[in-house]
Every structure is written in C-alpha cells, then in structure tokens.
Structure 1
Amino acid sequence: MGDVRIKNKEGETFIPATRRADGTWRKARKDEQPKYDIKARLNKTGLPSTSIPTPTPNRTYYSAQKTVYGANFGAPVFVPKPLINEEMMIGPQIPVAFIDKPNACITVRDQYEKQLFSIRRKIEDIQQLVDKIDKGLLIPQPNQLEKIKRRPILELQVSELLDKIEKL
C-alpha cells in the first residue's frame, strides 16, 4: 500500500492504524517515535535511554573564537565567528516521508485522493467483469457475483470521499 503518513492540525505526522489481513489492527504511531533504542548510540552519548536531548528554539551557538593580533603587539583581540543558527545545525523541518519518498501521502487530502483512485479502479474492474459476463465470455462464479453486488457500496464511498475532499 505504500507510505501513508497523515499530517494533523498541529503539524505532526503520524502513521494511522491499519487492519491486517487476519482482521487484527496495528496501532497508530507517531512518525518520530523510535521503534527501539540502539544501545551503541546510547553508550556513545552517555545518556540514559529515557532522556534524549532536544534542541531549544531561538537558541544560537557561538563557534570557537579566533585570535587576531592587532597593532598592539602581544595583545590578542578576540573576534567572534558568525553565529550558527540552530536551523543550520539541524536542517530544515521537512517531514521524513517527504525526504524519503516525495510522492508519499502526507496530507489528509492526499490520503482521500489515493483512496478515491483505489475505489475507482475497483469499480472499473467490476465493469469489465460485467461486460465479459454480458458478452458470454465468462461464466460468473459466486465470489464474482458478490463483487458485482458490492458496486453500489463502492459508488457510495466514492461520493462520500468526493464530499470530504470538497469540504477541505
């Protein structure tokens, strides 16, 4: 199915709950939530696994100062190097899905459009099946008849998705 990350009103991206083939559900999880802590990384920083340092906003860092010798011999003059912004150190705040897969669903609208495309493809398959049955090229099996009976439900889902997209 691909990458289905959703962006909520607060701007956080997360992976929604999905249903497995056996009928059980996977839990929704935050995109930034690590699946496990790598012990080598934790040992390297010397921090416990529960405290991961997070940068504070609007904070600037000075890089090392360089010494410039002026007209007064022996009296060093300290000239600070330019400030390093936190954005320069960390990088821009782009969702991970956008960096890894530029065509990944990030917004709710993208998710609805992807579902709409999938349902329309199913309706198209049902129409091809009905055409083959009408021409006599195919004798319908019970599961195919059930698929044909689901067509009105799928068309209703298409209209609901179109309404949701219009409201966005």
Structure 2
Amino acid sequence: MSGAYAANIITENGEQFIPASQRPDGTWRKARRVKEGYVPQEEVPLYESKGKQFMTKKLEPVVLPSGKSAQRPIPGLFITQEDKPEKKPSKKKVKSKIEEINKILQSTSLESKPQETTDPAKKLKNLKKRLREVENLEDKIKSGTLAKPEPEQLAKINRKNDLLVQIRELEKLI
C-alpha cells in the first residue's frame, strides 16, 4: 500500500496530489489533495517508548580504564562482575535470625515504664463501656441470637472479672 502514496504530484499552483491508484481487489482510489509535508499513515514509524527502546537495544560490553569489561545498561552506569548482587540468604536463615532478635528483646526489660497519663475518669468510662459490651454479648448468647460466638468474643467475656476489678480500683481513687 505504501507504493500507492510514494509519488506525490505537484501541480502548477503548488498543490500536492496523491494520484489515483488501483487497490488489490481491483477497485480504484480517487486522487487526493494533501498538504505540504504530508506523510501517509503507512509510512509513519511506530511510536516506541524509551523503555522499549532500551530493552531492544543491544547491550555491548564496555572496557574500563582498569582493563575490566563491564555492561552499560543505563548511560553512566557500569556494572562489572564484582558489582553484581550476591544471592539472597535463605528464608530459614532470615527466620532464625528474627527469632534470635525476638528472644533477645523479650529477655531485656525496660527499667522504668512510662506512666499512664490518661485521666482516671476517662479510663473508668472506657472500662464501663467495655463491661456493657461484655454483658450484651452474654445476653445474646443466653437468648440464643448468637448461637456460635467467635473465639475473640469468648475471650472478651472471660475478661469480665478483670474489668470489674479495674473498675472497683478506679472508683476507690475517684
């Protein structure tokens, strides 16, 4: 198809025309007037992004002044054999190191823990709210609306006595 547009005809007026041509199926194209500098769509090169150009470009080794050869995938960056990253440590080794660190952290304790700066009245209000939630859960279980409580809900119910003790202690302070 690009052959059909290869020779533009320039008239006496300075206008450019693409001459009439025959299509492969035997029908004829009309002659078309085009602007100066027109390039047919078939002859326009396809757009290629920088990344695609980079990936298709052949990487040639570069000889450094030290005599070593290096690849240059990015302008200004030279990668020699010594610079290539080593193998990553296995997951088992990483997990064992993490476990060691966790054991060390658990064995060490802080000498002075920061004091709680919350207002006792706010804390009491929060504890009473949590107690109401526990009582609501107990009521739902007893009435049968909550047939299978989640393990977290059961743990919450089991902490009821602790909540009551904390509430009594705070009420004595206030």
* Common fold: TM-score over 0.5: no
Range of TM-score over shorter length:
0.3 to 0.5
Choose 1 or 2 for highest CA Rg. 2
Q: Which has the higher contact order (CA 8 A, sep 6+)?
A: 1
Name the structure with the higher helix share: 2
User: Would you tell me which structure has more strand in proportion to its own residues?
Assistant: 1
